[in-house]
Amino acid sequence: MLASYLKSRFAGFLLVAFFSIAASGQSGSSGSITGVVTDPSGAVVPNATVEARNPVSGFSRTTSTDASGKFTIPNVPFNPYHLTIAGTGFAPYASDVDVRSTVPLALSVTLKVGGSAESVTVEATGGDLIENTSTFHTDVDRGLFDKLPLESQSSSLSSLVTLSSPGIAADSNGLFHGMGDHAENSFSLDGQPITDQQSKVFSNQVPLDAIASMEVISGAPPAEYGEKTSVVINATTRSGQGLTTPTGSVTTSYGSFGTSTVGLDLGYGGQNWGNFISANGLNTGRFLDPPEFTVIHAKGNQENIFDRVDYKL
| Res. 182 pLDDT band, cuts 50 70 90 | low
Q: Is the dihedral of CA 249, 254, 258, 259 positive or negative?
A: negative
How many C-beta atoms lie closer than 10 Å to residue 105's C-beta?
A: 19
The order of strands in the sheet holding 105-110 is: 70-77, 30-38, 105-110
Residue range 97-151, pLDDT digits in tens:
888 877 888 999 999 887 644 555 554 444 455 666 667 788 888 878 878 877 6
CB-CB contact of 162 with 170 (8 Å)? yes
A 10 A CB-CB count for 193 gives 16
CA distances for 63 relative to 5, 33, 266, angstroms: 51, 11, 19
Question: What's the pLDDT tens digit per position in 16-54?
Answer: 444 444 444 455 678 889 999 999 998 999 999 999 988
Average pLDDT of the chain is: 78
What is the C-alpha to C-alpha distance for residues 126 and 227, in angstroms, rounded to an integer? 38
All structural domains of the chain: 2-22+135-312 (2.170.130.10), 31-110 (2.60.40.1120)
Could you tell me the pLDDT band of residue 177, with boundaries at 50, 70 and 90? Answer: confident
pTM to 2 decimals? Answer: 0.73
- Sorted by sequence, the CB contacts under 8 Å of residue 82 that are 6+ apart come out as 51, 52, 53, 54, 55, 94, 95, 96, 129
Question: What is the length of the chain?
Answer: 313
Under the banding of pLDDT at 50, 70 and 90, the label for residue 198 is low
Of the listed ranges 3-17, 238-252, 269-283, the one predicted with least confidence: 3-17
